[in-house]
Structure 1
Amino acid sequence: PTRSHHGASSTRLVHRSRSGAAASRVHEELIAKGKLYEQRREARQERAVRDELKGVRGPKISQEAKNLHHDRPYHERVKRQQDLRKEQNDAKLETIRREEDAAAKKLNTFKPKLSSRGRRATSKVHMMLADQHDQWQARRGEALEA
């Protein structure tokens, strides 16, 4: 049983083919493990997204807001709001005016009662102010004559 050079190479080829099969098997196992890892990673990501979406709630909309009529034109709604604000402002101003009038009535209770002599004195003052220039000239003329 002498081995020829040809026989040795054939045994090596068999050995290499066996190791190649083992290597390809290991390679396939690694690919399978990689796919499994990818699937698990995607599942974790999907779970994280689902958990995050569970925590997120939609905006809370009141029942009144849900029942609003959305068929009205925008400008009509704005005009209605402006009119409402104007009415409220007018009502506030009227209330303030009434309160000021009531306060003024309480403060302005003094009503002078002038006698006839007092009325005459007031009229003399008015007359003196109106005729002041004429009276001054008359006095000046009298002083010059004397």
Structure 2
Amino acid sequence: MQDVETQSWSGLGVGTDRQSFLQKVTEQLPDYEPALAVEAVFCALTERLPGGIVQQLLEQLSPDVRELVGRCQKRGDAPEKLDRDDFYLHVANHLNADIENVRLVLHGVFAALHSQITEAESEKVVSQLPDYIKGTWLAARRGVDKPY
């Protein structure tokens, strides 16, 4: 089978289509259903980030990738002050995964998200993240090896 590189979509970011995005997630997280992993992480981020940042992030995704995370609804305008355990538990419960694997899941989805958004958008997101997530976001952006 021949590898075909999908061209960038024409939005603000450099994102590609749903299939290419999910393939990037699968490459990072072969033991997880990629669409569910994306939804789990994005729903947790939606609760943690301000609404304006979430909207800007969504706008950088191609329309068919946006559909993956469209079910994630913010419960209020202000971000929740989830501590590390609550955030990780949110992702683990959504994904039905062991909490020990959440950092790996975050890294994999973040790496795929970085392939979709601009550097400037990444900087906006990281400026709003707590330290316990910020390191994983930055490691995924720099292409640092995923945690084990």
Higher relative contact order (Cα pairs below 8 Å, separated by 6+ residues): 2
State TM-score, norm by structure 1.
Answer: 0.16
* Structure with larger Rg: 1
State TM-score, norm by structure 2.
Answer: 0.16
